[in-house]
Amino acid sequence: MSDGWTESAEAWIAEQGDAGDLSRRFVLDAPMIERVRRLAPQTAIDIGCGEGRFCRVLRDLGIATVGIDPTLRLLERARALDPEGDYRQAVAEDLPVPDAGFDLAVSYLSLIDIPDMDRAISEMVRVLWPGGTLLIANLNGFATAQVGGAWQTLQDGSRRFCFDRYLEERADWAAWRGIRIRNWHRPLCRYMTALLSNGLALRHFDEPAPTGGEPDWADRNSRVPFFHIMEWQKPA
């Protein structure tokens, strides 16, 4: 069954542009780049790199980077924008790289797209050097469990964010601006258990607030922070 990415590739490319969408520009990019700068890796693998935007960020920081994505059209766009980059077609559950080849593995809003998360995380750990870091940006579980358009108006006129079946892992379809893709909802405990079972140690956790964007958008994303950032270290 299609996950929607091939059909949505052109709309995704248009949505991201050169600078990324609002969530990347005003919520996630700055803290993700700050963590990368603190780690100062020599090599990185970006798993679920899409059109390659964050790979280009990493390469601009002087990091030798490999981008992995299963969607050919997105990789074509990545190669067109970064002809000297290294972009490879593969799924996260079967990474085409040797063991212990990278200081840093990045999953930037890609875990929600991966059907077999456990195998993918095992692969991410496999390709890290001992002591290397897995840096994750992900959607919070209540965001992926939203129902009824999420924001609903109550009888008193107040607006509330609604979600349901939080503990039930499932695949749902998300659609916006010509994009329609399958996302996986998982509660936070599901991610934490998978990461801890691979022997990783949590070194950083954050739920960053917006730093810009339209006031209404920023207010909604401050009331309900959609994203978290995690940094996990592989044992040395």
Q: What is the pLDDT of residues 94-145, one digit of tens each?
A: 999 999 999 999 999 999 999 999 999 999 999 999 999 999 999 999 999 9
- Predicted confidence (pLDDT) at residue 52 exceeds the cutoff of 90: yes
Name the pLDDT band for 150 (thresholds 50, 70, 90): confident
Per-domain residue ranges of the chain = 5-140+184-233
- Read off the pLDDT of each residue in 10-34 and give the average, rounded to a whole number: 96
Name the pLDDT band for 19 (thresholds 50, 70, 90): very high
What does residue 31 show for φ and ψ, rounded to 5 degrees? -70, -30
Cα separation, 187 vs 189, whole angstroms: 5
pLDDT at 1: 62
Maximum Cα interatomic distance, the chain, rounded to a whole number of Å:
58
Q: State the DSSP H helix or E strand holding residue 130, giving kind and residue range, or none if neither.
A: strand 128-139
Name the pLDDT band for 84 (thresholds 50, 70, 90): very high
SS3 at position 68:
strand
- List, for residues 214-232, the tens digit of each pLDDT value: 999 999 999 999 999 999 9
- Read off the pLDDT of each residue in 28-55 and give the average, rounded to a whole number: 98
pLDDT at 2: 85
| Partners of residue 136 on adjacent β-strands | 107, 230
- Predicted confidence (pLDDT) at residue 149 exceeds the cutoff of 80: no
pLDDT at 181: 96
- Read off the pLDDT of each residue in 170-199 and give the average, rounded to a whole number: 96
Comparing 154 with 118, the larger pLDDT belongs to 118
- Predicted confidence (pLDDT) at residue 200 exceeds the cutoff of 70: yes
SS3 at position 134:
strand
Architecture category of domain 5-140+184-233 in CATH: 3-Layer(aba) Sandwich (3.40)
Which among 56, 38, 49, 117 has a CA at the least distance from the CA of 88? Answer: 49
- Predicted confidence (pLDDT) at residue 196 exceeds the cutoff of 80: yes
Interhelix angle for 29-39 vs 53-60, to 10°?
40
Q: How far is CA 7 from the centre of its chain?
A: 20
Q: Which amino acid is at 187?
A: P
Q: State the DSSP H helix or E strand holding residue 115, giving kind and residue range, or none if neither.
A: none
pTM for this structure? 0.96
Q: State the DSSP H helix or E strand holding residue 171, giving kind and residue range, or none if neither.
A: strand 170-176
